[in-house]
Structure 1
Amino acid sequence: MSERPEIYTVGELRASGHVQKDLRREIRDNLLAALAAGRDPWPGMFGFNRTVLPQLERALLAGHDVVLLGERGQGKTRLLRTLAGLLDEWSPVIEDSELNEHPYEPITEHSRALALTEGDRLRVAWRHRSERYVEKLATPDTSVADLIGDVDPMRVAEGRRLGDPETIHYGLIPRSNRGIIAINELPDLAERIQVSMLNVMEERDIQIRGYVLRLPLDVLVVASANPEDYTNRGRIITPLRDRFGAEIRTHYPIELEDEVAVIEQEGHLVAAVPPVILEILARYTRALRESPAVNQTSGVSARFAIAGAETVAAAALRRASVRGEDNAVARIIDLEAAVDVLAGKIEFESGEEGREQDILDHLLRMATAETVRAHLHGIDLGPLVSALDGSSTVTTGQLVTAREFLEGLPSLNGSRLYDEVGERLGAENDGQRAAAVELALEGLYLARRISKDSDDEETIYG
């Protein structure tokens, strides 16, 4: 963050050569500058480069208010929050102004009178771009007073006339003047509350009860909505929808690499999770999104895979703590713990009652098999199959340490198979090597080349 400008009066501001810009021009100029410099205006967004982001950029260049439509967990809120990065880092306002008025253009009676009295001595304050982005979660109990404003009885009690504009307590939208207001889950707003936004969206002014106010607000309104809520639980009323200049559909990541990148970025992992396990979780999530047994209208959020990664990391940390391992590293065996706690995040079709766990287990096996094929193709696992000849078995489990697992592997008579599997997956320590070999064993089991017997305590391959 750069230092706040050392300018304290409107006279100093004019002397500095500061030029006033309206909000849309400010966003347009900063977006064009970022694109011309090859700088990413949307840090942390994955999978939208060829679809959503070009549409959003065109909408902002056109100066449009924007509504994002998409299922849960598609990154709508995160995308809206990145808009703050397109604002100037520091912006001047009249000191103590309720509506963040520009020192060159006061809009309330109080600020205009103050500017007339003080002249070049009018005090200037500075707002950081992070203060100019306001977010509101739409809830059914949201009122017009919350968004637009209402008469403040305390100010009336102080002796002001009821018709005095100074008796008004402004709501969230006027207080976002010269900034961005984001309304999440817009269809959840009652229709009469949406009506109160019509003047703000089109005429850029506000109406409060019987007051005749012409406050030219400079605010960008952005919103998010779930299409399912849009059609069932609530809707955006037609006049309000018409006032949004752009309606943009979001989507889940199209490429597997983007899905993994989202998990890596958003997951708060308390232990090391090898990339191959993140890939299994990403493939698992994508398989659920394609399954006819899952209710796709509610979507399978990216939070599903993120929570899965956090759970396998927690399982690894628990094992390391209980068994005294130096390095907590997640392994394939920990995926079972993730499935146990993630089932509640999925909505199944009505005809699938009683089969939910079977569906989850089946799709996890599919995701694991696809990952094995992607990473271990070309490696001859025959020596490991031969070693498990009926007299030898391999034991693993959620409380079996990586060292115990590796020491329990059968000898392969000089074959470098274990090293080869570890090298293919980039293993650098015992935990990662154990995860790599567990993946190979699970792949052999899924290919029906070896057997597997599991209970709550341990899993035996043989």
Structure 2
Amino acid sequence: MTSDLPTTAGALRAAGHVPRGVKAEIRENLLAALREGRNPWPGIVGFDRTVLPQLERALLAGHDVVLLGERGQGKTRLLRTLVGLLDEWTPVIAGAELNEHPLDPITPESKRRARQLGDELPVEWKHRDERFAEKLATPDTSVGDLVGDVDPVKVAQGRSLGDPETIHYGLLPRSHRGIIAVNELPDLAERIQVALLNVMEERDIQIRGYTLRLPLDVLLVATANPEDYTNRGRIITPLKDRFGAEIRTHYPLEIGAEIDLVRQEAGLVAEVGDHLLEVIARFVRHLRESSSIDQRSGVSARFAVAAAETVAASALRRSALIGENPPIARPVDLDSVPEVLRGKLEFEAGEEGREQEVLVHLLRRAIADTARSTFAGINLRPLAELVSDGHPVATGERVHAGDLLAALPELPVLHEVAQRVGAGPKDPVGRIASAVELALESLYLTRQIAKDSDDDRTVYG
């Protein structure tokens, strides 16, 4: 990939290469993407009109950025896409400890090598993926981890303690000419946060008693929970002041965006139709609006992804038990979601003992809302009368989709129901059965038919 690129500082200079800061590099690449109509944020869903315009303005202004938002809102995912705004390849001094530009060395050792070798200073090229560093701000993080410390091995080699070259550089200096992302910034101890002040404003570092000035060129981005950031005072005021932009993220504002996000992120082991993903999206929406759920903790997008994967796994298990192929999820598979994922939610203190009841109620609301929007304009009364007049329909994890459909005679309404979820006569029976089962559950929830359930079997009648 880099065989035709300059390999010495002299060749780099002769090629007309001019050093530029990482923020200028990001600005120019972002402007180029916007002018050409390219999407600079691949894989980011639901932020097009809210978060992304704010982030683009911050990057164009050359600001360090902190993203504020509850868990599972895609903050880390968004920060990782910043890598795509860096140049694909960039020159660095071969063998240097930091990513120094061959025409602009900053460490004492690299400056000495540049004087000695001149135009013969060796150059290597780094890919943009190597210029992004990510640090989870755990409470045990030290100043040495972020900034650096004295390297006893170098001292043992005969150098004096006052020699700047005895320093072992931390993560921030090693991110020179790149991006460093700090996740959960409020979890850093306050004395460690102080170490970031000079990096963000004066763009240098201080290590113990050394008089060392390194003009670091980094873009510092961070994530934080707004509860930690604003209420509990766990970020020191000078550090807050040094961030040029504070941007609030959010959960998907539209059902369609939530479905797209789940479809993109979930690893589904069986087919899950859009009507079932809509149920999951509406279920998550109801959870985020419920007074029974602790909204300070939020309901992560990972919950929706895990719910879709659980529904798919339930369909795959049924396929293995009764030989139903291909495995296709049906509404009965939604019953596993409250049981499996209850532990991913934080409930208000007054809801102890009612957790399962709350989840089942909200899931039924989501099913009813989805059926209402999916089957709007279809008269389901003939199906209700048929089931009530002696054609009970059984479903469950040991009931084959073919058996479910065989319990019902041909009715025009069944074809309409199947068409609404995109299923045709030649499609697998599981896809058609999934639509019919949603219609039956809708009739039950609107009290037009009855439903009796035991451990692994449900009968509509």
TM-score bucket (shorter structure):
over 0.9
TM superposition shift of 1:355: 1.1
Task: Output the amino acid matched with 2:93.
Answer: I
Structure 2 residue aligned with 1:63 = 62
Distance 2:322 2:230 in 1: 52
| Change over 3 Å in CA distance of 1:184–1:234 after alignment to 2 | farther
| Change over 3 Å in CA distance of 1:279–1:5 after alignment to 2 | farther
Structure 2 residue aligned with 1:168 = 167
Structure 2 residue aligned with 1:419 = 415
Distance 1:307 1:228 in 2: 25
TM superposition shift of 1:16: 2.3
Distance 1:365 1:389 in 2: 21
| Cα root mean square deviation, aligned | 1.3
Q: Report the secondary structure of 1:134's partner residue.
A: strand
Task: Output the amino acid matched with 2:408.
Answer: P
Task: Kindly provide the CA deviation profile for residues 157-178 of structure 1, in whole angstroms up to 9, marking residues without a partner as x.
Answer: 1111111111110000000000
Alignment check: 8 A CA contact 1:47 1:254 kept:
yes
Alignment check: 8 A CA contact 1:188 1:234 kept:
no
Distance 1:47 1:5 in 2: 41
Q: Name stretches of at least 5 consecutive residues in structure 2 with no aligned partner.
A: none
Distance 1:27 1:231 in 2: 29
Distance 2:130 2:381 in 1: 62
Task: Kindly provide the CA deviation profile for residues 395-423 of structure 1, in whole angstroms up to 9, marking residues without a partner as x.
Answer: 0001222222222x3215xx222221111
1:54-453 aligned within 5 A: 54-231=53-230, 235-407=234-406, 409-412=407-410, 415-427=411-423, 428-453=427-452
TM superposition shift of 1:7: 2.4
Q: Report the secondary structure of 1:448's partner residue.
A: coil
Distance 2:156 2:285 in 1: 60
Task: Output the amino acid matched with 2:274.
Answer: P
Alignment check: 8 A CA contact 1:183 1:222 kept:
yes
Distance 1:391 1:264 in 2: 39
TM superposition shift of 1:231: 4.8
Q: Name stretches of at least 5 consecutive residues in structure 1 with no aligned partner.
A: none
TM superposition shift of 1:308: 0.1
TM superposition shift of 1:76: 0.4
Task: Kindly provide the CA deviation profile for residues 265-289 of structure 1, in whole angstroms up to 9, marking residues without a partner as x.
Answer: 1111111110111110000000000
- Percent identical among aligned pairs is 65
Task: Output the amino acid matched with 1:74.
Answer: Q
Alignment check: 8 A CA contact 1:281 1:309 kept:
yes
Alignment check: 8 A CA contact 1:315 1:334 kept:
yes
Aligned length: 458
Distance 2:124 2:401 in 1: 59
Task: Output the amino acid matched with 2:366.
Answer: A
| Change over 3 Å in CA distance of 1:268–1:247 after alignment to 2 | same
Distance 2:458 2:164 in 1: 73
Distance 1:325 1:452 in 2: 24
Task: Kindly provide the CA deviation profile for residues 342-369 of structure 1, in whole angstroms up to 9, marking residues without a partner as x.
Answer: 1111111111111111110111011111
Task: Output the amino acid matched with 2:150.
Answer: V
Q: Report the secondary structure of 1:418's partner residue.
A: helix
Alignment check: 8 A CA contact 1:188 1:233 kept:
no
Task: Kindly provide the CA deviation profile for residues 218-246 of structure 1, in whole angstroms up to 9, marking residues without a partner as x.
Answer: 00000000112335666111000100000
Alignment check: 8 A CA contact 1:90 1:129 kept:
yes
Alignment check: 8 A CA contact 1:381 1:417 kept:
yes
Q: Report the secondary structure of 1:388's partner residue.
A: helix
TM superposition shift of 1:31: 0.5
TM superposition shift of 1:6: 3.2
Q: Report the secondary structure of 2:179's partner residue.
A: strand
Q: Report the secondary structure of 1:283's partner residue.
A: helix
Task: Kindly provide the CA deviation profile for residues 132-152 of structure 1, in whole angstroms up to 9, marking residues without a partner as x.
Answer: 111000000000000000001
Alignment check: 8 A CA contact 1:93 1:102 kept:
yes
Alignment check: 8 A CA contact 2:388 2:449 kept:
no
TM superposition shift of 1:384: 1.1
